[in-house]
Structure 1
Amino acid sequence: MLDRIENGLVAANRWLLIVMLIAMACIVFANVVLRYATDDSIIWAEEVARHLMIWGTFLGAGLVLRYGGHVAIDSLHHAVGNKGAQVLRGIVAFLIGAFCLVMTVASMNYTWFMRFQTTSTTDISFAWIYAALPVGFFLTFIHLLFVVRRYVLEGRYMDSPEMDAESAASL
């Protein structure tokens, strides 16, 4: 049951990122073509593409964490032995989890404060853009919960036939 939930979360997260990246690419491409073909551009294109990039960054952070794509310095893990490395990885995982939870709460407050300010072109509330922060940090925390045991005990991340650390980092 838990595996199905995890697989569903990963699949939904990946497809959402794919759709957002395709939308962003189409918007930017259409804007460039229109600018050079007609000397006119879509006035909202840059703003919407930027907001999609913000959402993509925060939604993708959890997937990148899951496959070990974030920058890490692991030379101390190799120097302290197996038990010491497990303790060190446990501390690191705890700190990452605590950071994600603190940032979820802090960014929820920030999002709430931004609800009356609107964007210049599309005139939507900045709360919709800043909502990417609490959603992304909480999603990263959930991804951490799914991989933490394997990471702490074995020092390994999740394996996937189509995703490795370098591919995850390129998201």
Structure 2
Amino acid sequence: MSSPPESGPTLDAASPLPTELPAADEPAKVPLAIEDWATVIIMGLLACITFANVLVRYFTSSSFAWTEEFSVFLMILLAMVAGSAAVARDRHIRIEYFSESGSMARRKRLSQFGAVLVAALFLLIAALSVRMVWDDYRFDETSPGIGVPAWWYSIWLPIVSTAIALRAIGLFIRRGRRDDRGAE
């Protein structure tokens, strides 16, 4: 009996690794490990807080009042930090039909245009959120669940938005340098 012709890579455990593995992160002046470790810490805090609340609810039929509010804050912060990592790694959402087609010069321009737009958006968010933080502080706003000052939560929006904008600017610069050297 003859075996069927090979029509692509096999999926069994004994097969060798594919020849094309994903590329490593591009070198950046500010290490990408900052976002990676922040993600690990935030996820660890979320897991610990949620687990503690489950245990308390199971054994006492009550819960920690602060866990829901703090968990929501951590999830929002996690999304922002992950957004920063996505921008730094050039993994943000795009329509690949447009971004991956055409000449290298067109791809470079589209990549840089996207980075400029991301930077502009997050600089605008950072600038506007500074006003929000100031208002939270000035008017002594408190959080609805546990009554801590609201600016404790809102102060992170301009900080992380600025970080995302800086990562986008860095991506813009790296894309310009990479393609000028003839890489890819």
Q: Is the CA contact (8 Å cut-off) linking 1:59 and 1:135 kept in structure 2?
A: no
Is the deviation greater in 69-78 or in 20-29? Answer: 69-78
Q: Which residue of 2 aligns with 1:15?
A: 37
> Given the two structures, how large is their TM-score scaled by the length of structure 2?
0.71
Q: Which residue of 2 aligns with 1:126?
A: 150
Higher gyration radius (CA): 2
Of 105, 110, 116, the residue aligned with 1:83 is 105
Do residues 41 (structure 1) and 60 (structure 2) align?
no
Q: Which residue of 2 aligns with 1:26?
A: 48
Q: Deviations over 1:100-122 (max 9, x none)?
A: 21111011112212222101333
Q: How big is the shift at 1:93?
A: 1.6
Q: Is the CA contact (8 Å cut-off) linking 1:20 and 1:56 kept in structure 2?
A: yes
Q: Which amino acid aligns with 1:39?
A: S
How many Å separate the matches in 2 of 1:69 and 1:80?
Answer: 19
Q: How big is the shift at 1:134?
A: 0.7
Do residues 64 (structure 1) and 86 (structure 2) align?
yes
> Given the two structures, how large is their TM-score scaled by the length of structure 1?
0.76
Q: How big is the shift at 1:4?
A: 8.5
Q: Which residue of 1 aligns with 2:73?
A: 51
Q: Which amino acid aligns with 1:32?
A: V
How many Å separate the matches in 1 of 2:45 and 2:98?
Answer: 42
How many Å separate the matches in 1 of 2:96 and 2:36?
Answer: 27
How many Å separate the matches in 2 of 1:131 and 1:60?
Answer: 18
Query: Residue 94 of structure 2: SS of its match in structure 1?
Result: coil
Alpha-carbon spacing, 1:55–1:77, altered in 2? closer, same or farther (3 Å): closer
Q: Which residue of 1 aligns with 2:12?
A: none
Q: Deviations over 1:22-50 (max 9, x none)?
A: 11111111111211222121111111111
Is the deviation greater in 93-102 or in 11-20? Answer: 11-20
Of 105, 119, 122, the residue aligned with 1:97 is 119
| Aligned-residue RMSD, C-alpha | 2.1
Q: Which residue of 2 aligns with 1:161?
A: none
Query: Residue 120 of structure 1: SS of its match in structure 2?
Result: coil
How many Å separate the matches in 2 of 1:142 and 1:67?
Answer: 13
Structure 2: gaps (5+ residues): 1-26, 180-184
Of 122, 144, 147, the residue aligned with 2:168 is 144
Q: Is the CA contact (8 Å cut-off) linking 1:59 and 1:132 kept in structure 2?
A: no
